Amino acid sequence: MSTQCLTNKKVLTKGNYAIAQAAVLAGCQCYFGYPITPQSEIGEFMSGKMQELNRGYVSAESELAAINMVIGAVSTGVKAMTSSSSCAVSLMQEALSYATTDELPVVLVSVMRGGPGLGNIYPSQGDYFQVTKGGGNGDYNLIVLAPSTVQECVDLTYKAFYLAQKYRNPTVLLADGLLGQMMEPVEFYDYPYPEIDTSDWALTGAKGRKSRIIRSYGPLAEDRCVFLEKLFQKYKVIEENEVEWEEINTDDADIVLVSFGSTSRNVKTAMKKLREKGIKAGFFRPITLYPFPNKRLAELSRKTKKFVTVEVNMGQMVNDVKLAVNGNCPVELIHKGVGAPPSADEIVLKIEELL
Amino acid sequence: MEKNFIIAGFGGQGVLLAGEVLANAFMLAGKHVTWYPSYGAEMRGGTVNCEIVMSDEEVSEVNKSDTDFVIALNQASFDRFLSKIKKGGWMIANSTLAKEIKTRTDINYLFAPITKLAEEVGNIKMANILALGLLAKASRLVSIDTLNQALDTVIPPHRKNLLPLNMKALKIGYEYDLLPV
């Protein structure tokens, strides 16, 4: 059953509701979740809407159960998702590792809050490592999309479902407490991507065909090597085709500010304020955190004099920028441990101290 | 042009809802707008606030270091946000619950007995919307017509019976004699 978006009118919508509504419009057939601030509105919305549309909704007994329910559902070829936050996403790491080797299109929305441990419910970007480096075992990557506005919460939710199915790889929409709780005018529209045929792998009952099995167990060393080479061949294709970023004023920039998610909004304004002061600043925002825009950053590192990453964590993405830049120029970090992003003026002040 | 507004008060005074109505009004007027709440271990009786940033272009920033307008529905909010107001900005305060003291001389004050006026409208819960009427008059950035439309957008179908009273509160706030400011 599909839902059509009947209006192109802008609606003032909270980030969490925007994600949930977009998931419904993307054709998500099953939602499994366990409530946690600051993303509880997603489950709340789904609890009503999925029932109304005769789709699946389960309020799971734990996050561990929820993500494994998603694995079960997507194994049958349908679109399914869960959503959670930080300390509870920790509980899902094992299943995410399994889903990469099972090659299953799991969609996870992670709305970051303060950590480590139980932490607090304020916005944070402290789970960059959690989703890009993985807390699960083995060699794997999750596709990670990082929205910076409520409209992008909609756009990238659609994209998350598409990429997950296109590459049969778990995909994460990485938002944060600020985006989840924020309201902005958004436009909903019909799912803009082609539907992916899952009939050649999905478990749909073996009537009239040979039975299939999806499992992560690879007991033979040699076979496993072959599988991993194949898996990483897929990652190479993803890295070649799906990198997305935004950049402004980087052509003549002496200093390039790199930031993702909600923090990047203030960083963009800080760049403009630096320009007004005669400092040649540029702005670079990775939209896909995996695949990371390594190549473009490497190109820029041959033209610019310095990179500064701005993050609401103790410095995580800065490591990926350093790897991309590979010593071509210095990479500095401006950070705040947890909470709403630093204001543009605060960022400008700190950058002036670095110059 | 970009302006920002902080609406603050006790949990339960309808601070977040007033912000939502204001943000909807700006959206209906074709502006870019962002609304975000303070949230944390808030509870009824504690303080709560939200910020609305309205802009002709893409909203430049969240968690701004200063603000153009503050609506303070209680004393704690008045005390907390007074220093955040830009030079020439506005403090719109509920004199039923906050003292009329003008410690800063570089901003505009509008003291009105918002809670008392709301009681006269017939429902103390209308204080938040009444305050938006005052803001509309003082700021000249949003019209009463647009705010009425925004109320209609925000109030859900099963609460539409409250629409006329909210519109009345808005009107009374708007028509409150601003003199002497």
* CATH number for position A334: 3.40.50.920
Find the mean pLDDT for residues A135-143: 96
- Reply yes or no on whether the pLDDT at B180 is more than 60: no
Q: Where are the alpha helices (DSSP H) in A120-209?
A: 128-132, 150-167, 177-181
Sheet containing B85-94, strands listed edge to edge, beginning at the edge strand earlier in sequence: A10-14, A183-187, B32-37, B47-55, B2-10, B67-72, B85-94, B108-112
Find the mean pLDDT for residues A300-318: 98
Rounded-to-integer distance, Cα A106 and Cα A67, Å: 8
Point out which residues pair with B144 in neighbouring strands.
none
- Interface check for A336 against chain B (CB to CB < 8 A): the answer is no
Q: Do A324 and A256 meet the contact criterion of CB atoms below 8 Å apart?
A: no
> Do both A122 and A181 map to the same domain?
yes
- With contacts defined as CB-CB under 8 Å, which chain A residues touch B59? 184, 265
Distance from CA of B17 to the nearest CA of A (A): 12
Tell me the count of A-B CB pairs closer than 8 A: 61
Domain assignment present for A78: yes
Q: What is the pLDDT of residue B40?
A: 65
- With contacts defined as CB-CB under 8 Å, which chain B residues touch A185? 27, 32-33
Q: Of A175, A96, A102, nearest to A135 (Cα)?
A: A96
Q: Do A18 and A150 meet the contact criterion of CB atoms below 8 Å apart?
A: yes
**H or E, element range at A183:** strand A183-187
β-strands B85-94, B67-72 pairing: parallel
Rounded-to-integer distance, Cα B49 and Cα B14, Å: 10
Full-model pTM? 0.95
Q: Do A112 and A102 meet the contact criterion of CB atoms below 8 Å apart?
A: no
| Residue extents of the structural domains in chain B | 2-175
> Do both A165 and A300 map to the same domain?
no
Point out which residues pair with A115 in neighbouring strands.
none
Rounded-to-integer distance, Cα B40 and Cα B45, Å: 14
Q: Do A201 and A76 meet the contact criterion of CB atoms below 8 Å apart?
A: no
* CATH number for position A108: 3.40.50.970
> Do both A188 and A267 map to the same domain?
no
- Reply yes or no on whether the pLDDT at A153 is more than 60: yes
- Interface check for A297 against chain B (CB to CB < 8 A): the answer is no
> Do both A306 and A340 map to the same domain?
yes
Count H helices and E strands in chain A, helices first: 13, 15
A342 to B24: CB separation less than 8 angstroms, yes or no: no
- Reply yes or no on whether the pLDDT at B60 is more than 60: yes
Closest Cβ–Cβ partner in B20, B39, B41 for A183: B20
Rounded-to-integer distance, Cα A80 and Cα A96, Å: 14
Q: What is the pLDDT of residue A128?
A: 98
B60 to A10: CB separation less than 8 angstroms, yes or no: no
Q: Of A354, A264, A268, A273, nearest to A311 (Cα)?
A: A264
- With contacts defined as CB-CB under 8 Å, which chain B residues touch A340? 62-63
**Alpha-carbon distances, residue B110 vs A70, A92, B95, B98, B177 (angstroms):** 55, 52, 9, 12, 10
- Reply yes or no on whether the pLDDT at A2 is more than 60: no
A341 to B20: CB separation less than 8 angstroms, yes or no: no
> Do both A252 and A122 map to the same domain?
no
Percent of chain A whose pLDDT exceeds 70:
98
DSSP label at residue B71: E
β-strands B47-55, B2-10 pairing: antiparallel
Q: What is the ipTM metric for this complex?
A: 0.94
What is the Cα B123 distance to its own chain's centre?
Answer: 17
Q: Is B69 left (phi over 0), alpha (psi -120 to 50) or beta?
A: beta
- What are the strands, taking DSSP E only, across chain B? 2-10, 32-37, 47-55, 67-72, 85-94, 108-112
Instruction: Indicate which of B34, B53, B154, B155 best probes the interface with A, i.e. most A CBs within 10 Å of its own CB.
Output: B34
Confidence band for A1, pLDDT divided at 50, 70 and 90? very low
- With contacts defined as CB-CB under 8 Å, which chain B residues touch A184? 33-35, 59
> Do both A78 and A124 map to the same domain?
yes
- Reply yes or no on whether the pLDDT at A152 is more than 60: yes
Please identify which residue in the block is written with the tokens 């010593």.
A327
Distance from CA of B42 to the nearest CA of A (A): 11
Instruction: Indicate which of A179, A184, A285 best probes the interface with B, i.e. most B CBs within 10 Å of its own CB.
Output: A184
> Do both A76 and A187 map to the same domain?
yes
Least confident of A65-69, A124-128, A334-338, B43-47: B43-47
What is the SS3 assignment for A207? coil
- Interface check for A276 against chain B (CB to CB < 8 A): the answer is no
B27 to A185: CB separation less than 8 angstroms, yes or no: yes
- Interface check for A269 against chain B (CB to CB < 8 A): the answer is yes
**CB count, 10 Å around CB of B6?**
24
Q: What is the pLDDT of residue B46?
A: 77
Count H helices and E strands in chain B, helices first: 6, 6
Distance from CA of A180 to the nearest CA of B (A): 9
Find the mean pLDDT for residues A85-113: 98
User: Based on the structure, what is the number of domains in chain A?
Assistant: 2
> Do both A165 and A21 map to the same domain?
yes
- Per the structure, the complete domain to which residue A143 belongs is given by 10-196+229-241
- Reply yes or no on whether the pLDDT at A324 is more than 90: yes
Distance from CA of A215 to the nearest CA of B (A): 42
DSSP label at residue B102: -
Domain assignment present for A183: yes
- Reply yes or no on whether the pLDDT at B44 is more than 80: no
Q: Is A354 left (phi over 0), alpha (psi -120 to 50) or beta?
A: alpha
- With contacts defined as CB-CB under 8 Å, which chain B residues touch A344? 60-61
Rounded-to-integer distance, Cα A15 and Cα A175, Å: 9
- With contacts defined as CB-CB under 8 Å, which chain B residues touch A341? 62-63
Instruction: Indicate which of B39, B51, B59, B84 best probes the interface with A, i.e. most A CBs within 10 Å of its own CB.
Output: B39
> pLDDT tens across A199-242, in order?
999 999 999 999 999 999 999 999 999 999 999 999 999 999 99
From the candidate CATH numbers 3.40.920.10, 1.10.1740.10, 3.40.50.720, 3.90.850.10, the one assigned to the domain spanning B2-175:
3.40.920.10
Q: Do A110 and A173 meet the contact criterion of CB atoms below 8 Å apart?
A: yes
Domain assignment present for A4: no
Distance from CA of A55 to the nearest CA of B (A): 25
What is the SS3 assignment for B96? coil
For residue B59, the chain A residue with the least C-alpha distance is: A265
- With contacts defined as CB-CB under 8 Å, which chain B residues touch A181? 36-37, 39
Domain assignment present for A339: yes
Q: What is the pLDDT of residue B179?
A: 58
> Do both A234 and A282 map to the same domain?
no
For residue A345, the chain B residue with the least C-alpha distance is: B65
User: Residue A99: what are its φ and ψ, rounded to 5°?
Assistant: -65, -30
Q: Do B134 and B112 meet the contact criterion of CB atoms below 8 Å apart?
A: yes
Closest Cβ–Cβ partner in A184, A269, A340 for B33: A184
> pLDDT tens across B69-93, in order?
999 999 999 999 999 999 999 999 9
* Dihedral sign from CA coordinates of A242, A192, B23, A83: negative
